[in-house]
A and B are shown apart, each in its own frame.
Chain A
Amino acid sequence: DTGVSQDPRHKITKRGQNVTFRCDPISEHNRLYWYRQTLGQGPEFLTYFQNEAQLEKSRLLSDRFSAERPKGSFSTLEIQRTEQGDSAMYLCASSPRDSSTDTQYFGPGTRLTVL
């Protein structure tokens, strides 16, 4: 299967701990996106990368959040000092080209629960 993969699928942590999620996009997709989805809502944009460059960050992404894509392939999203409000599904997506009409393909998500 060559779809978008995310690891872990589920993460339970205690408030104040740091967590890191990984996303592997579809091979040769040069755009990678992170979204967050809470219960009863649609996904909300967090940030995206063109190759290794992080081009935009949402105001939803507080200073406790950092994302990287060091070699333009996989990406990591780290949340420091987690809070209960960070509990959500974190979705990664990728798209093939530098076009605004490219379809974004999503991974299965990482479900974060902060106790």
Chain B
Amino acid sequence: DQQVKQNSPSLSVQEGRISILNCDYTNSMFDYFLWYKKYPAEGPTFLISISSIKDKNEDGRFTVFLNKSAKHLSLHIVPSQPGDSAVYFCAASANDYKLSFGAGTTVTVRA
């Protein structure tokens, strides 16, 4: 049962523009959400997180938005840079420590 879904397998964006990645979840018990970035042949690297008591968290070029009523979160990257080209995973946990991941979105930043 896929509790976390990333419905866009890929995203192409021009350098300097905004990248918007989306994630939907089904488990209403999820209370902590994270975004990870992954390069080929490496493990996921933590980017940014948000707890369910907030609706927005910002860290430099990265902002995560959480809409609990819609069970939806998004990651905004502004401005997009060539080094942002990677696979991005959305993950969530429900106070039980284990993370449930989406299938990932491959971002390509065009020069």
Contacts and interface: CB of A to CB of B under 8 A. Distances in A.
Nearest to B6: A42
Given A31-B97, A45-B98, A109 B43 contact: yes
Contact of A43 (B31, B44, B51, B93): B44
B42 A108 contact: yes
A103 B34 contact: yes
A33 B96 CA distance: 12
Interface string A72-115: 00000000000000000001010100001101111111010000
A56 interface: yes
Nearest to B42: A108
Contact of B93 (A100, A105, A107): A100
A2 interface: no
Interface residues of B, number: 27
Most A CB atoms within 10 A — which of B43, B44, B45, B100? B43
Interface in B24-78: 31-32, 34, 36, 41-46, 49, 51
Q: How large is the interface on A (under 10, 10 to 19, 20 to 34, 35 or more residues)?
A: 20 to 34
B32 A43 contact: no
Contact of A100 (B4, B97, B101): B97
B43 A48 contact: no
B71 to A, nearest CB: 17
A62 interface: no
Contacts of A56: 96-98
Given A42-B4, A42-B91, A43-B89, A105 B46 contact: yes
A109 B96 CA distance: 23
A10 to B, nearest CB: 9
B97 A103 contact: no
Given A43-B89, A101-B32, A103-B49, A108 B98 contact: no
Interface of B: 4, 31-32, 34, 36, 41-46, 49, 51, 89, 91, 93-104
